[in-house]
A and B are shown apart, each in its own frame.
Chain A
Amino acid sequence: MRMWIYIVRRLLLVIPIVVGVMTITFALVSALPVQDRLISAFGAPPKNAPGGYSPTIPCSDLNKSQNGTCPNPLYVRDTHKLGLDQPIFYQWGVYIGNALTFQWGYVDNHSGASQSFSQIQGQSVATVLGWFLPYTLELAILSLIIILIVSIPLGNLGAVYRNRPIDQASRVISFSGYALPGFLLGSFLLFAFVLALGPSVNWLDPTCKTETWYQFWVGSWPQQSCYTGEIWPTWLKNGFISSPTGFPTVDAMIHGQWWLAADSLLRIILPALVIAYGTIAGLLRFVRNSMLEVMNLDFVRTARAKGVPEKTVISRHAGRNSLNVTITVLGLTFAFFIGGFPVVETIFSLWGVGRMFVYALLSPYDYGLIFGSTLLFTFLVVFANIIVDVLYAYLDPRVRLG
């Protein structure tokens, strides 16, 4: 089978998964009160609308002469838009249609999220998440790089030097990674760095000479007071909407601010380490065990027998497999990997989709933002799994030919 046929087939398999995930979120949304559904879909009711989204309002508010209560026209219009006056299958269809076209609703002006973070008030959920997705992606890419450059060599070494100190060390990392939750590890690291570097002013960053170490390790960008005139640069609107690409490091480089680019990269190293640590713990075992299995196979023995140096046997012959294993296990545990983002982004006050999810949980909930960020994270997982499968097919011809 040709590669592109394999890719197309793999992409088609995604459709039922995506629709299924949306069906689950639809089932959860349906359990909400109707007013909450309306607010999460259309944002807070307009100020001039009497009675908001309540189903009935006093008729006098509608300039009608009769007494008593009349149906609220805003309520009737918006429930009709969502299909709430139709059978459940129709509602499901409307929901899936909206979700697939990224119409994920609006941020509620009265929710805890927009109270504590006013810049997102009244924006659509897709827009808000679009601002923050690049931050999350940059953090994810950095932690994936750390995971790959740590777990593959360490797993291979653990297999080669079996039951020696290096193997025991990798086992300790593996076990403690399972047992240390991200919020503890992250807080400890932040704590340790702030305490170890002391109360002095940050010397690492020449762009901001007034910054303390605590301020350096917290946040995605230097404080507002660090920029010329104490205003955010024009390409960094409000201190978080960076343009043109949205990726902080890339944007800083495009604008020639090399120190700012290095700075934004330095700031996500600690968070990336915290995220990577939990995932490496799960990976090391698999890499080590698969390496042990491969080392006893016939082709490795053949390579040794014909006089290939042991270093080459390990790196070229046996070691090639550990990349496959790492990628496969990474694909399987990617949902857990993604689940670490809200916590880590909160500890280090980074911008990102996970931080928005945590904001959305501030009481009263912002259901639009909650479901939007969950859908976005799920899409990331599904997308990562496609990449894993394609990479796997590329690395292992048996998969695409079989």
Chain B
Amino acid sequence: MTAEGTTEVPTPTAPAPAKVVVSRRGRRPNPRIAQMKRTWYFLRRNTLAMVGIVILVFFIGIAIYALTQPIPWTQLQQQCASAGINPPTPGSGCVCTYYAGSANPGPGCYQTPLNYPSEIAPTFDLSHGTLGPYPMGSLTVAPNNPVFYNIFTGLLRGADWSLGISVAIVGTGALIGLMVGAISGYFGGWVDEALMRIVDIFLSIPQILFVIIVIAVLVSIPVFQPFDARIALLVLGFVIVWWPFYARIVRGQVLVVREQKYVEAAKASGAGSGRLVIRHIIPNSVYPIFVQMSLDVGTIPLLLGTLVYLDFPIFSTIYFPEWGSMAALSVAGPNGVSTITDALLTCQFGSCVIPWWQFLFPGLALFLYAISVNFLADGLRDALDPRLRR
């Protein structure tokens, strides 16, 4: 972050962990582990990055906790079965759930708005209190809808969905980008030229629109009808759009690395192209994409929320427990059917109730997650780049 470049020459090695420890077997420690230790050393000194890591670890803990909990719907199904209610079938219009319209709701076979069981328990507590028609701590997909979802369970269950989907997208995208970038940078010439033009073409289409059109077209293919396949399609749509970012970064780094002496030495000792790329070039050019990866892990839930906000019908088959989509459902849809728009419309004539909890809690989770990841990315960028170290 600082740039004392000319006045203060940065020391080539870090102070504490860089001292060469000769292990018991008389070999130098793995230089990559030394590099990781050095990065951690600088990262530890960055307060914001540590705050980011703490928040992130907290969210990962929630995600792991949520994974161990049974899906509420499965619990409901058992209750319904023991009460002798017909086993519900998704899509038939009858679903085993709580009905939020009655004063004392028990589990039963009711119709949910989307004819599909949610992974989030509908809210139990239907006391309206003095706050208006919406139960506190609940989220409803459309106004005047009798089914309210529990925001707290939603946030818990959303942790593993948000983290899982963004890690899946970013990991796959980075893998593809790494391979393409390494090939492009290493071979150079017309291969490089052709691959980089393709990357340019991909990057010039606005990303969010690109994701939407890819999914909009592919969703008509029957393979992608089941719910799990739709999640896979969502990941696929993002990966198709996201790999060029990584390819471009990796290629730039590979161009530097391949001119290094150790690559030349490996070549001189008879290493083939494959070995050179896999053993020497890729491991030494992955560090810059860590920064981009951690930034993108934070961006993807926001973009998922944007897709839901635009009322993109891929999700309309199920209520989707993910922070971004919860936040999006809480504010508005393009047709104006949402509690917030509803409230706002009545607000213009005076008294109104704003279900602030609907967008405050999902929005806060989304914001904290994205900003913690950004703090971490910023710290990583400083720690990995010797010029920016303080």
| Interface-facing stretch out of B90-98, B134-142, B147-155, B206-214 | B206-214
Interface-centre pick from A17, A181, A342 (highest chain B CB count, 10 A): A181
- B173 on the interface (CB 8 Å rule)? no
- A191 on the interface (CB 8 Å rule)? yes
Report whether B209 and A339 are in contact in the complex, using a CB–CB cutoff of 8 Å.
Answer: yes
Report whether A183 and B201 are in contact in the complex, using a CB–CB cutoff of 8 Å.
Answer: no
- A236 on the interface (CB 8 Å rule)? no
- A230 on the interface (CB 8 Å rule)? no
Report whether A374 and B210 are in contact in the complex, using a CB–CB cutoff of 8 Å.
Answer: yes
Measured CB to CB, the nearest residue on chain A to B212 is A361
Report whether B205 and A187 are in contact in the complex, using a CB–CB cutoff of 8 Å.
Answer: no
- A124 on the interface (CB 8 Å rule)? no
Q: Contact partner of A361 among B299, B312, B366, CB < 8 A?
A: B312
Measured CB to CB, the nearest residue on chain B to A347 is B332
Query: How does the 8 Å CB contact mask read for A186-224 relative to B, with 1 for contact and 0 for none?
Result: 010011001100010000000000001111000000000
Report whether B327 and A31 are in contact in the complex, using a CB–CB cutoff of 8 Å.
Answer: no
Q: How far is the CB of B196 from chain A (nearest CB, A)?
A: 11
Q: Contact partner of B204 among A21, A297, A362, CB < 8 A?
A: A21
Query: How does the 8 Å CB contact mask read for B290-334 relative to A, with 1 for contact and 0 for none?
Result: 000001001100110110011111001000000010011001101
Query: How does the 8 Å CB contact mask read for A29-66 relative to B, with 1 for contact and 0 for none?
Result: 10111001000000000000000000000000000000
- B221 on the interface (CB 8 Å rule)? yes
Report whether A361 and B208 are in contact in the complex, using a CB–CB cutoff of 8 Å.
Answer: no
Q: Contact partner of A190 among B335, B344, B367, CB < 8 A?
A: B344
Report whether A362 and B311 are in contact in the complex, using a CB–CB cutoff of 8 Å.
Answer: yes
- B264 on the interface (CB 8 Å rule)? no
Task: Name the interface residues of A346-396: CB closer than 8 Å to any CB of B.
Answer: 346-347, 357-359, 361-363, 365, 367, 370-371, 373-374, 377-378, 381-382, 385
Query: How does the 8 Å CB contact mask read for A320-343 relative to B, with 1 for contact and 0 for none?
Result: 000000000000000110110011
What B residues does A378 contact at CB under 8 A?
A: 204-206
Q: How far is the CB of B254 from chain A (nearest CB, A)?
A: 20
What A residues does B298 contact at CB under 8 A?
A: 178-179
What A residues does B210 contact at CB under 8 A?
A: 374
- B345 on the interface (CB 8 Å rule)? yes
The count of residues in chain B whose C-beta lies closer than 8 Å to any C-beta of chain A is 65
Measured CB to CB, the nearest residue on chain B to A375 is B205
What B residues does A180 contact at CB under 8 A?
A: 367, 370
What B residues does A347 contact at CB under 8 A?
A: 332
What B residues does A339 contact at CB under 8 A?
A: 206-209
A199 and B349 alpha carbons, distance in the complex (Å)? 5
A24 and B206 alpha carbons, distance in the complex (Å)? 13
Report whether B5 and A335 are in contact in the complex, using a CB–CB cutoff of 8 Å.
Answer: no
Q: Is the interface of B mostly helix, strand, loop or mixed?
A: helix
A293 and B348 alpha carbons, distance in the complex (Å)? 51
Interface-centre pick from B7, B334, B367 (highest chain A CB count, 10 A): B334
Q: A183-B305, A358-B310 are in contact. Are A292 and B2 (CB under 8 A)?
A: yes
A117 and B264 alpha carbons, distance in the complex (Å)? 64
Report whether A215 and B311 are in contact in the complex, using a CB–CB cutoff of 8 Å.
Answer: no
A347 and B333 alpha carbons, distance in the complex (Å)? 9
- B44 on the interface (CB 8 Å rule)? no
A203 and B202 alpha carbons, distance in the complex (Å)? 47
Query: How does the 8 Å CB contact mask read for A251-278 relative to B, with 1 for contact and 0 for none?
Result: 0000000000000000000000000000
What B residues does A176 contact at CB under 8 A?
A: 367, 371
Measured CB to CB, the nearest residue on chain A to B363 is A184
Report whether A187 and B331 are in contact in the complex, using a CB–CB cutoff of 8 Å.
Answer: yes
What A residues does B316 contact at CB under 8 A?
A: 363
Report whether A175 and B217 are in contact in the complex, using a CB–CB cutoff of 8 Å.
Answer: no
- A402 on the interface (CB 8 Å rule)? no
Report whether B220 and A33 are in contact in the complex, using a CB–CB cutoff of 8 Å.
Answer: yes
- B81 on the interface (CB 8 Å rule)? no
Report whether B206 and A343 are in contact in the complex, using a CB–CB cutoff of 8 Å.
Answer: no
Q: A184-B327, A343-B306, A362-B311 are in contact. Are A31 and B217 (CB under 8 A)?
A: yes
- B20 on the interface (CB 8 Å rule)? no
A276 and B327 alpha carbons, distance in the complex (Å)? 21
Q: Contact partner of B6 among A297, A373, A381, CB < 8 A?
A: A297
Report whether A178 and B299 are in contact in the complex, using a CB–CB cutoff of 8 Å.
Answer: yes
Query: How does the 8 Å CB contact mask read for A161-189 relative to B, with 1 for contact and 0 for none?
Result: 00000000000000110111111100100
What B residues does A234 contact at CB under 8 A?
A: none
Report whether A336 and B371 are in contact in the complex, using a CB–CB cutoff of 8 Å.
Answer: no
What A residues does B220 contact at CB under 8 A?
A: 31-33, 36
Measured CB to CB, the nearest residue on chain A to B8 is A296
- A28 on the interface (CB 8 Å rule)? yes
Q: How far is the CB of B140 from chain A (nearest CB, A)?
A: 16
Q: Contact partner of A377 among B209, B218, B324, B334, CB < 8 A?
A: B209
Measured CB to CB, the nearest residue on chain B to A381 is B204
Q: How far is the CB of A12 from chain B (nearest CB, A)?
A: 13
Report whether B206 and A336 are in contact in the complex, using a CB–CB cutoff of 8 Å.
Answer: yes
Show the binding face of B for A, using Cβ within 8 Å. Answer: 1-7, 197-198, 200-210, 212-214, 216-218, 220-221, 295, 298-299, 302-303, 305-306, 309-313, 316, 324, 327-328, 331-332, 334-335, 340, 344-345, 347-350, 354, 359, 363, 366-367, 370-371, 374-375, 378
Show the binding face of A for B, using Cβ within 8 Å. Answer: 16-17, 20-21, 23-25, 28-29, 31-33, 36, 116, 175-176, 178-184, 187, 190-191, 194-195, 199, 212-215, 289, 292-293, 295-298, 335-336, 338-339, 342-343, 346-347, 357-359, 361-363, 365, 367, 370-371, 373-374, 377-378, 381-382, 385
6 inter-chain pairs at a CB distance below 8 angstroms, sorted by A residue, are A181-B305, A187-B332, A187-B359, A191-B354, A293-B5, A343-B309
